[in-house]
Structure 1
Amino acid sequence: MNPVYSIAPHAKFLTTLADRVIDGTLLGGWDNSGPFGLSDVTIVLPTRRARLTLAEIFAERGVGLLPDIRTFGGEDKEEEPFLPPIDVSILPAPVSLVERRLVLSRLVSLWAVSDDGRQALASPPNAAEVLKLAESLGGLIDDLAAEGCTPQQLDAIVPADLATNWQQTLKFLQIVFRAWPEILGERQKADKSVLRNERLLRQAMAAPLVYGDKPVIAAGSTGSIPATAALLKAIAALPHGAVVLPGVDTTLSAAAHETLLDPISNSHGHPQYGLAKLLRTLGQTMGNVIELADADHARTVLVRHALALSPDTAYWAQNRLAPNQLTAAGKGLTLLSARTEDEEARAIALAARDGLVRGKSVGIVTPDQNLARRIAAELGRFDIRVDDAAGAPLFHAPAGRLLRQILALATRNFAPVDLMAILRNRACVLGTSRAEISPVADLVEMGVLRGQRPNPGVTGLRALLTANVDETTKYPVRRLTSADAAAIEILLTRLEQAMAPLMTALSQAHLTAGGFVDALLAANERIANADIGGAAELALWGREVRAQGAEGITFEPVGLDGVLQALMQGFEVRNVMARRDDIAIWGQLEARLQNPDLLIIAALNEDIWPEAADPGPWLSRQMRLAAGLEPPERKAGLAAHDFAMALGNGEIIVAFSERLGTSPAIASRLVQRLEAFAGEATGTLWRQRGEKWLAEARALDATAAPRAASMPVPNPPPSIRPRRLSITEIETLFRSPYDLYAKHVLNLKPMDPLGEEAGGRERGSIIHDIFGRFVEEGNDVMAANALATLNELAQDGFSGLDAIGERRDIWMRRFTTAAQLFLDFERGRNHLVCQRHAERSGKWDLQLSQPFTLSGRADRIDEMLDGTLEIIDFKTGTPPGPGEMKRFEAPQLLLEAAMAHVGAFADIAAADTSNLSYIKIGLGPDAFIEKPFALDDGFDLMGAADEAAIRMQRHVAEFLFNQRPMIPRLFPLSNQRYAGAYDHLARTAEWSLTAGEDSA
């Protein structure tokens, strides 16, 4: 057996490998003189990127004819060794991820509804959850294949030792793992993991025949897959074979080696565990490993002590490095502790840009794809286009996002937000162009949707379109011309036709994955621009799903966004744009092989690097061990090894964030160990180096110290101030004249949020209208069918309120109760009422120093038998308090009484008002209990009405006829818990005394 070699972390792995090949160290005496001396040498590496980098290194060193550089388990046609003429069976075709997911989902769904499945699962899984369970089940199949385990090894798990749910799960797994090979055999296919193992084992078997006594070097692998370990063992046994491992700790004693492999010690998370296991497979020990790098470096010593076995941490104090060693170890090492992921990405981008400016190559390693995309976006600010090796999930790529918007539009039946989202998507062309779509989209938003709530579907949109064009209807935002309407109609027709296949599919009781995706892609093909990013990958995914036909589960058309995400899992969109070759973003594996001038390792947060030790939903940790599988913390050992190798780089930045999303986060245990061993002073020094980039990141988008806005004091000429106000605006004049300035002088009207859900205010308005219609249509409150009549009016009133029938039903049930209370109230006073008037509008022309008109609309004005009037205000909210009424801070009812006194309301003769009252509409104990208007001492009702009119006229003269500033919040409500319509315009929160108060 040939010796096993290692390259320590502080040495550049591929560079050292090339140098040791060139100088003959790894060739075992093979003659490599002359320009073609290396042409017979074969080198096997873990990744294609490493293969290309090694080729460049050989070329830089003037090697004439390069060695044959391959990757482990390479594709048949490109990299698999040419086998000698022996009988070898043809490998079956690989089963696709989609096909396996769908086939397994059918098995999972059948089990989930069985008695065993009900005992194992907390609740019945929906379609998306079934697909995710199927995906994780496929991952478990791959784990078994990778570890060389057979389904029969599950029999080693003792059911009696398990909880009931695990017992049922184990029974299912035993069935699946025995049936799955038969299913694949019928389809003449095999799992990719099995095929990879088979290729590796064939390479191992054929190695002596293919290579003979020619040099073969396997480098960079840790042999975590048993089939790879078998190939390494076969190469090591060749006459001129050599195995070069990354970062073997040759200083470990034989006892430490045994401790690593002792299952009781649970050392799976140690960076040397995998290498120790591989060495045992190769029949070697730590002491037999030959180090190819120079003498131990202080950085390597530091990292090895910091990541020592748990028992060895007791000796940290006596093993701590001397100050000069710590200085040498920390040279070029920076810790970057960012507050947020956004800040982390920006600081990394700035550090990377600085490295490029200094003429250095830069590598960024992170397992977090979201952070990788953030970093790439931040680098784009400096026009640096970086190669992100991982790409982006198809589900989040432009093509995937548009597909999700199409699905949302269909499932929510053309809801306003979803409609505008798709019309604003630059990839939405509907067979035309964005130049045609964009202006019509503006018309749809402002002329059809804003301030309105359409009924479901295109029919509801067309109804609003017709209502807008009809000039007899009131429209709140923008009146459309006939040409506008024609353009919108064409757009709606195109969209309706494009969505027709999907809408038809969603109308079915059940869907299959193939049928669902076929309908979704049919809509996408009619809507999307063919050049959208990820279109090719989307087409490939679509072909794979469509090829399965009716395979997989059937599901109801609900929760389809989760179904789509589950079906797209595993499909990535790779970068196709030209990228720089001096900077790249890599995955963790490259951390052990690549050595740029500046290496940045990012997302060093716990549960990211290393990832959480999750055994998955199918086997617990103990069940995995009993079945011969590695425990989940084995991935932590691989992550720790990659971290240790990366730390050997000369100039390195270790970055992590103190918050992930909205949650606090902690640095990875690897970083914590490193700082703990180095000591607080040294760790602080490393962090101080990172502060430079954090400060620049914070300053990049920072502005000067913010200065709070002062209260606005607009003072427009009296000639342009309003000469007509409604009764409700009089209270606004009292409290915040600025709001009237914004509304009537600047002509700014609040715009309702697009697709705003109906709330209490709108529901209250509808109830007002229902009670008003009941009265105005002359219905008798004493009639036996009065309640039925109110319910009929409510059915019509609530019909367009919400597309969700269940919510309408709830509101209707509540309304029925309120309607009965309304009738009880009216019947109780019926003997006093001569005639009722509802929602009656009025206008009072006043001749002050200048003409002024007061308008209003009263909820109810009842003519009483005694010749007086009674004015009632129906409230769905809270009525004013007695103090506000007495202080004339709630002038609405008093002004209505003053208007009624002069006959300002149509068809109601001038008369005094004998009663003002509030009635609360609701279901509580205070519902439909009359609350009389509270009068201050010394005032009767009409006297108070006259006083309110006088005060109103003073304010009108002062603020509308004179040059007086129209300031905001002149007299604000003390208990107001909502923002005013123009508070944002006045920047009230910046100068108001109540800014920052807790309104809860």
Structure 2
Amino acid sequence: MARSGTIFSIAPHAPFLATLADAIIDGRVAPGWRREGPFWLSDFTIYLPTRRAANTLSRILADRLGDTPMLLPDIRPLGGDDPSQEPFIPPYEPVELPGAINRFKRRLLLAEIIERWLAVTGEGAFSAPGLGGVSGAPNGAEIFALADSLGTLIDDFTIARRDPRSLKSIESDQLPAQWQEHLDFVTFVLDAWPQILAGEGEMEAAERTNILLERKAASLALVHGDRPVVVAGSTGSIPATADLIASVAKLANGAVVLAGLDTRIDGGTLAALDDPKRNPHGHPQYGLARLLKRVGTLPKAVTELAPEEAPRTKILNAALGLPDATAQWQTVAQDLGAELQAGTQGLSLVVARTPEEEARAIAVCVHDALDHGKSVAIIAPDQTLARRICAELARFGVPLDDAAGTPLLLSRAGRLVRQAVSVLANGLNAVDIMALLRNRHVALGLGRGAVAPASEWLDLGILRGQRPLPGFDGLRRAVSDNRDGITRRPALKLDADKAQAVLGLIDALEAGLAPLAGLMARDEFAASAVAEVIGETIERLRDVPQDEKIAPLEGEDELARWIELAARQGARGPRLSGGGLAFALEGLMAGQSVRPRQPDAEDVQLFGRLEARLMDADRVILAGMIETVWPEVADPGPWMSRGMRLAAGLEPPEKLHGLAAHDFLMAAGGPEIVFTLPERAGTSPANPSRLIQRLEAFVGPEINKKMQERGAVWVEMARRLDATGLPPQPAGRPAPKPPADVRPRKLSITEAETLLRSPYDLYARHVLGLRRIDALGADPDHAERGTLIHDILGDFLTEGHDPQSADAFDAIMAIAQERYGRLDAIPARRDIWLARFGAIARAFLEFERDRPQIAWRMAEISGSIELPLSDPPFVVSGRADRIDRTRSGGLEIIDFKTGQAPAPKEMKQFFAPQLPLEAHMARVGGFVGAEGQTENMAFIKLSHGPKALEITQYAVPDGMSLADAIDTSFTLFQNHVAAMLLRDDFPMTARVLPKPSQRFKGDYDHLARTEEWTLLDGGEEGE
């Protein structure tokens, strides 16, 4: 039982540390201690939850004392002192405790145990279907995630001081088979874990802390005597801490200062908070009520140190009450009367569209506070949001870093590691190669001055739209193909110097990744081997010539420490594989952070929830107020269900909700509070935090509207931050009129239809000189696969194969095997495409064998003609898929389509001029060796379905012969060339006659801003 007058509380509306300092100085706390001379304050020992709170209290006390000469008190963070620093206090002999096992080493040991458990087979073996979301063989990342969750469960048992034998009290016969297996495994691990730690010569950090706190509690009276001891700000959620607080309360001059206790809690509420069946764990007073019960006092006996009652605290306590109390909200709100308006006057609610906009609005809000000389505290439990806020503040020149730091894997050093591993794990994928080479810290012994341009040449000359053969030798072969003209339409043709530079870059990259490649080629290896190889690989990647200085790399010191730590682990940990290393990296580097190096702005601080519990500022911003962030998900983990945890004597996961609610209560009590939340998180709607929803429901729609109006100011300013100040001007249909001498004097036959439908595309291509560059690392699309089919069918004939021969199918599939080998690195998908092509090949051979009238077949034949329309003459060129000579001496022209063939209506209206132009070129000798009159023209659609080859004969207008249609089509083409390309005054308009059946975007639609003006014009797509 605590002595009367030793338990205090500071309400949320009062600044906690400042109020505590005042109460210590003016004698309200430890009133029996004489406050005379320069040493009285140094006799105080004060325990606080965090080191940051301890440092802040020291500064506040120094400010309060001013010029008065005084020694400050001994302020310590809760958690216990190291045994080596303990004084000799009879009869409490000093102890030599083993060191605490570091989390990385523990993760490896637990992951190794889990891996062996999951690998057990045979009768009576454990199985883990669906364990932690794992189905099938788990990869390294999943095993490490399971190890972390198992470590958290070990911590829960250790902190709660529960004997693992309590698991035997769970009636496993009533559990599903999966939970029974999990329970057996957890029981085994908890029984064996102390022996495993003893073998390592270490102990659990939580157990070590428990021992130190227990020794501290037992020795308080002897160590401090009648000198004042104050413990402040703790909720006593750790049983050992609660015992220490209870011991302090019994001291002659001991004092316990709670944070945000509602001293008006009635007996019914206390009984509800003490009844697990009513699930009170999410209530902000739950932890404090349990602590008071442990101390042996009631809320009404607690002395409030806040100077006076405040409406804000009343509102928060009412809004966050038990579920049964919500029925009385209207009555409570009416009783508050004018206090309801006064208590919410300083509250603002920022509702942004996205987390990015939320961070920008917070930055604007911070900037405004600094302009008015106010201090700001930002509380952001979401580290991603915290980093966004820091980035947005940087545009205002406000230096701020997340105190939690950047995860090592997401730092620049970690990014370099991930990029190096991804290049090899993904089989030299183009995107991964360029991501690594564009990292400014990659020098490869050549220096960035050589790596950067060679990387661009590798990108444009080898990787864009090309399919190099596997491995580094495949990249070298692609360089040779580019130089020899084998590469079809590369984005960049390499000259000798560029090719040599690219080859040197490939050699350097292969040498730089060699240690990592050697490791990943092994069947299995330990985490220590990964660390050693990563260290060597990073050193090679960052190697610079002797005359250059190596650029500093964010996180390099932390990475070096991680490598040193991991390298010491020997064979500990699960067996890793090269294919799974990219996944395992997250688990290997989890928990390692890169701390900020630059000092924060003096008046702006960024906190997590625990750090912010006792801190205050003129303006407090509670960021990320959505479910899953504040509060977090109450997940019991994959090893034990909620009911199993309760049966074992552990707290349910909803305890986290109670801590989050208490942190919200303490943070929201200041004079000026800004709540922020996004409407969407990722691709899904975001649900506002239940704490915000309760507050909004309690204060009512009118006050809630005012809160949102005050917050909308910051959102509007954030949206205007990047605005130009001018209203958006929609684009009109472009119709440039370039001079005739810059318009094209040469067209391919495939561009003839473009000339009819969208001359602007020819303007962009030939006048502006713009060409579409394939996306880096893009999957093969329909057009590329169609081109490949054309090439295979063409190569089959140009290589001299006879469709009539018995081995024709094997010959054409051999060509396909070689060509498809470059198309896709995924064997299963490549096999599907080959199977589909097999259907096309059979139909193609059957089609050719049913054409006895053909005497000679010519595939992929190129030609050109000159039109005497200008000086120099206008040139028309092209390549025909097939021109076959019949036994009568005439020609048949075929165009193979993997897409849609032109509709007969389009042919009759001369909107499909390609085949007629090819026929005209053949008639006038444009195709050498294929001269003559055309007897037939057809489109053949290639597909793998039932109609593998669907023939569409060229349709001529009614009453017109094929020869007349060819002549008319050519005449119209000449007229269009003369009107559109040889005159200055004719506009080259975009999408004059858009193709109704076209469902894909053109190469220049984005340049023409087509989607803007087609909407304004009424959507001509359907015309």
Contact 1:625 1:631 in 2 (8 A): yes
Evaluate the alpha carbon distance shift between residue 83 and residue 523 of structure 1 in structure 2; reply closer, same or farther with a 3 A threshold.
farther
Contact 2:942 2:950 in 1 (8 A): no
SS in 2 for 1:992: helix
**1:70 and 2:83 aligned:** no
Contact 1:387 1:580 in 2 (8 A): no
**1:338 and 2:352 aligned:** yes
Residue range with higher mean Cα deviation, 429-438 or 331-340: 429-438
Contact 1:117 1:169 in 2 (8 A): no
**1:821 and 2:843 aligned:** yes
The one-character-per-residue Cα deviations of 1:100-126 (angstroms, maximum 9, x if unpaired) are: 111111221222234332457472323
Residue range with higher mean Cα deviation, 149-158 or 122-131: 122-131
Q: Offset at 1:771?
A: 1.4
Please give the alpha-carbon distance, in whole angstroms, between the structure 2 residues aligned to 1:745 and 1:355. 54
The one-character-per-residue Cα deviations of 1:587-616 (angstroms, maximum 9, x if unpaired) are: 111332011111111111122111111111
The equivalent position to 1:103 in structure 2, one of 106, 109, 113, is 109
The one-character-per-residue Cα deviations of 1:66-86 (angstroms, maximum 9, x if unpaired) are: 000001115528986775674
The equivalent position to 1:205 in structure 2, one of 218, 230, 246, is 218
Residue range with higher mean Cα deviation, 478-487 or 375-384: 478-487
Residue type matched to 1:117 in 2?
A: S
> In the alignment, what sits opposite 1:857?
879
Evaluate the alpha carbon distance shift between residue 587 and residue 520 of structure 1 in structure 2; reply closer, same or farther with a 3 A threshold.
same
Contact 2:38 2:71 in 1 (8 A): yes
> In the alignment, what sits opposite 1:430?
444
**1:270 and 2:283 aligned:** yes
Please give the alpha-carbon distance, in whole angstroms, between the structure 2 residues aligned to 1:918 and 1:641. 74
**1:123 and 2:135 aligned:** yes
Identity of aligned residues (%): 47
- After the TM superposition, which residues 616-655 of structure 1 pair with which residues of structure 2 at under 5 Å, given as runs? 616-655=637-676
Contact 1:257 1:286 in 2 (8 A): no
Residue type matched to 1:576 in 2?
A: R
> In the alignment, what sits opposite 1:943?
964
> In the alignment, what sits opposite 1:488?
502
Contact 2:234 2:259 in 1 (8 A): yes
- After the TM superposition, which residues 173-572 of structure 1 pair with which residues of structure 2 at under 5 Å, given as runs? 173-320=186-333, 321-470=335-484, 476-528=490-542, 531-572=552-593
Q: Offset at 1:808?
A: 2.7
SS in 1 for 2:127: helix
The equivalent position to 1:722 in structure 2, one of 728, 741, 744, is 744
Q: Offset at 1:472?
A: 7.9
Q: Offset at 1:491?
A: 2.3
Please give the alpha-carbon distance, in whole angstroms, between the structure 1 residues aligned to 2:493 and 2:876. 27
Q: Offset at 1:848?
A: 3.0
Contact 2:464 2:773 in 1 (8 A): yes
> In the alignment, what sits opposite 2:757?
735
Q: Offset at 1:432?
A: 5.0
Residue type matched to 1:521 in 2?
A: G
Please give the alpha-carbon distance, in whole angstroms, between the structure 2 residues aligned to 1:687 and 1:23. 41
SS in 2 for 1:837: strand
Evaluate the alpha carbon distance shift between residue 333 and residue 930 of structure 1 in structure 2; reply closer, same or farther with a 3 A threshold.
closer
Please give the alpha-carbon distance, in whole angstroms, between the structure 2 residues aligned to 1:281 and 1:542. 45
Residue range with higher mean Cα deviation, 111-120 or 558-567: 111-120
**1:90 and 2:90 aligned:** no
The equivalent position to 1:168 in structure 2, one of 176, 181, 185, is 181
**1:675 and 2:696 aligned:** yes
> In the alignment, what sits opposite 1:782?
804
Residue type matched to 2:117 in 1?
A: W
Residue range with higher mean Cα deviation, 114-123 or 45-54: 114-123
SS in 2 for 1:511: coil
> In the alignment, what sits opposite 1:757?
779
Q: Offset at 1:453?
A: 2.6
- After the TM superposition, which residues 583-982 of structure 1 pair with which residues of structure 2 at under 5 Å, given as runs? 583-703=604-724, 704-829=726-851, 831-848=852-869, 850=871, 851-908=873-930, 910-963=931-984, 964-982=986-1004
Evaluate the alpha carbon distance shift between residue 993 and residue 642 of structure 1 in structure 2; reply closer, same or farther with a 3 A threshold.
closer
Please give the alpha-carbon distance, in whole angstroms, between the structure 1 residues aligned to 2:485 and 2:920. 34
Residue type matched to 1:231 in 2?
A: L
Residue type matched to 2:247 in 1?
A: A
The one-character-per-residue Cα deviations of 1:188-239 (angstroms, maximum 9, x if unpaired) are: 1111111121221121122222112111100010000001111111212222
Q: Offset at 1:925?
A: 2.2
SS in 1 for 2:910: coil
SS in 1 for 2:949: coil
Residue type matched to 1:540 in 2?
A: R
Q: Offset at 1:620?
A: 0.9
Q: Offset at 1:354?
A: 1.3
Please give the alpha-carbon distance, in whole angstroms, between the structure 2 residues aligned to 1:472 and 1:13. 75
Q: Offset at 1:331?
A: 2.7
Residue type matched to 2:78 in 1?
A: F
Residue range with higher mean Cα deviation, 383-392 or 508-517: 508-517
Q: Offset at 1:170?
A: 0.6
The equivalent position to 1:11 in structure 2, one of 7, 11, 14, is 14
Contact 1:120 1:166 in 2 (8 A): no
Runs (5+) with no aligned partner, structure 2: 543-549
Please give the alpha-carbon distance, in whole angstroms, between the structure 2 residues aligned to 1:337 and 1:59. 40
Q: Offset at 1:301?
A: 0.8
Residue type matched to 2:453 in 1?
A: P
Q: Offset at 1:530?
A: 6.4
Please give the alpha-carbon distance, in whole angstroms, between the structure 2 residues aligned to 1:893 and 1:994. 35
> In the alignment, what sits opposite 1:158?
171
Q: Offset at 1:471?
A: 6.4
Please give the alpha-carbon distance, in whole angstroms, between the structure 1 residues aligned to 2:736 and 2:634. 63
Q: Offset at 1:449?
A: 2.6
Please give the alpha-carbon distance, in whole angstroms, between the structure 1 residues aligned to 2:517 and 2:404. 35
Residue range with higher mean Cα deviation, 467-476 or 286-295: 467-476
Evaluate the alpha carbon distance shift between residue 775 and residue 440 of structure 1 in structure 2; reply closer, same or farther with a 3 A threshold.
closer
The one-character-per-residue Cα deviations of 1:79-102 (angstroms, maximum 9, x if unpaired) are: 867756743331112112121111
Residue type matched to 1:153 in 2?
A: S
SS in 2 for 1:502: helix
Please give the alpha-carbon distance, in whole angstroms, between the structure 2 residues aligned to 1:678 and 1:769. 72
Please give the alpha-carbon distance, in whole angstroms, between the structure 2 residues aligned to 1:653 and 1:624. 37
Q: Offset at 1:282?
A: 0.9
Residue type matched to 1:297 in 2?
A: A
Q: Offset at 1:476?
A: 2.9
Contact 1:70 1:79 in 2 (8 A): no
Contact 2:748 2:876 in 1 (8 A): yes
Residue type matched to 2:171 in 1?
A: V
Please give the alpha-carbon distance, in whole angstroms, between the structure 2 residues aligned to 1:916 and 1:544. 73
Please give the alpha-carbon distance, in whole angstroms, between the structure 2 residues aligned to 1:435 and 1:579. 34
Evaluate the alpha carbon distance shift between residue 322 and residue 86 of structure 1 in structure 2; reply closer, same or farther with a 3 A threshold.
closer
The one-character-per-residue Cα deviations of 1:17-36 (angstroms, maximum 9, x if unpaired) are: 11111112212411121222
Residue range with higher mean Cα deviation, 192-201 or 520-529: 520-529
Give the alignment's TM-score, normalised by structure 2. Answer: 0.95
C-alpha RMSD of the superposition? 2.0
Count of aligned pairs between the two proteins: 998
Please give the alpha-carbon distance, in whole angstroms, between the structure 2 residues aligned to 1:896 and 1:391. 66
Residue type matched to 1:984 in 2?
A: H
The one-character-per-residue Cα deviations of 1:138-188 (angstroms, maximum 9, x if unpaired) are: 011011111111211111211122222111111111111101111111111
Q: Offset at 1:484?
A: 2.5
